[in-house]
Structures are given as structure tokens and as C-alpha cells.
Amino acid sequence: MTSLVARQIGIPGRLQPADLDVQAGELVALVGPNGGGKTSLLRVLARIENASGVVAIDGEDLDLAPLSRRRRLLSFLPASRDVIWPIAPRDVIALGLDGPNPARVDELIGLLELGSLADRPVNRLSTGERARVLLARALVGNPKILLLDEPLSNLDPYWVLRILSILEIAAHSGQSVLVALHDLGQLPRFGRALLIADGQVQMDEAPASLMASERFEQVFRIQATQGGWEVRRQADPQSSP
């Protein structure tokens, strides 16, 4: 079932108009070099700026959805982990809900192992701890679409793996999850990958075939080696064939 339908979405000068369909339950990775347009795409999908095009979730036009409805349709996690005010993580998570639901908040506190931090001011936590709190806020309302900008950065290896499995479970339960990420090592765990560079979606395929492609190496300016990646050597006409 198609969950997210985007038509002709774009931001002048940063993201060329594009169409995108995402099925319910899909786990989609957005990869690409810095400044290529991953964040712009997520922001357009979340209707954060006055962008062109139409985004519909389960047939509902996002621009027309009232405030209370939006929370059920999507949540957006920005790459920034900044919270200025000394709000307790428990309350930060609750901001993702329409009304009070302490049981659900406790569920997320348990899921992201925030128990010992739940009542400390969020702006005093470490970046990685704050990342978990903010992700919990994005997850708590159980929206149909999760738009997550680099949810895996600033995390230790345990938490990278834990959050990947949390996202897999979310997708399994029918949520569509779009994740911008830089760690190519995690790409195979996604069902679908978009390569975004120069303000447009360059490729849209399964991660394995994406990573095996020439275009992928070209865009990232890296190349595969045994068990890893290295900086791609410039094509040099002088070198032997």
C-alpha cells in the first residue's frame, strides 16, 4: 500500500522538483555527499518551508492537515541535537503526543534506556544521550511516516545497532521510515536506498545494486576495496590502461 505520495516537490536552487512514492512498511535510506540535498528532501516532505509540490500521506494532503492531525501523519527529527531549555527528557518525549499519556512515554523511556536520565534537564545531557531523547520524541506518537535526519550520528556502536533494529521494527509494524545517513556500512539493512546529489535524486534502488554501481562511486568520489572504501583515484589519462 502506498503511504507517502509526493509530487513535484522541490526548493528553488536546492532541490529540483521530484516525485517520490513510499510504501507502508518501507525502510528507506537517503545517502549522498554533504550538501547534496538529503536534508532538503526530508524538509520538503515534512513541509517545513514553503516548498513547491504536494505531499500526501494515505491520501491526506499535508498542507491542509490541521495541527493535531499532523502529529499522527508524520514526525521529523532534525540533525541538530540542540535544545536550549532545561526540559526533562520525559517532558521532551511527551511533546510528541497530543495529550498526556505517561504509559506511552514510559514505554519509550524503556525502549531507549533513558530511565536514569528521564528527569534531568535535557540540555545538560551528552549529545548522544540527547539524540536518543529526541528520537524518542519522534517515535512516541506512532506517526505513519518517520522522517529522520541522521538519527545514527553521535551514537556509540551499541546504540547504532539498537536504533537500527528499533527502526526495522517500526517499519515492520507498517510505518514508513526515511532515514538520511552517512554510515554506508549500515546501508544493507535498508530495503531501499535513494542516492541524492546536486539537488536531485540520482538513483533509487536496492542498496546492494546501488553500492555496486559506477554512479555511486562517482557521486561519492570513493571506491570499494576489499572490506571497505577508499578515496577514488582521479581518472588519469597518463596511467597505463
Site of interaction with other proteins (CB under 8 A): 43, 46-49, 65-67, 70-71, 74-78, 80, 82-88, 91-92, 95, 121, 123-124, 134, 137, 147
Per residue in 174-193, is it b (16+ CB within 10 Å) or e — as a string?
Answer: ebbbbbbbeebebeeebebb
Q: Alpha helices of 185-237 — where are they, by DSSP H?
A: 207-212, 214-220
| Alpha carbon distance 189, 69 (integer Å) | 31
Backbone angles phi, psi at 113, to 5 degrees: 50, 50
Minimum separation from the CB atom of position 124 to other proteins (A): 8
Minimum separation from the CB atom of position 195 to other proteins (A): 24
Torsion of CA 132, 137, 140, 144, to 10 degrees: -100
Minimum separation from the CB atom of position 14 to other proteins (A): 15
DSSP bridge partners of 31: 195
Q: How far is CA 73 from the centre of its chain?
A: 15
Residue whose CB is less far from other proteins, 84 or 235: 84
Minimum separation from the CB atom of position 44 to other proteins (A): 11
Written as nine digits, the cell of 196 is 541524492
* Residues 8, 183, 26, 195, CA torsion sign: positive
| Alpha carbon distance 131, 156 (integer Å) | 11
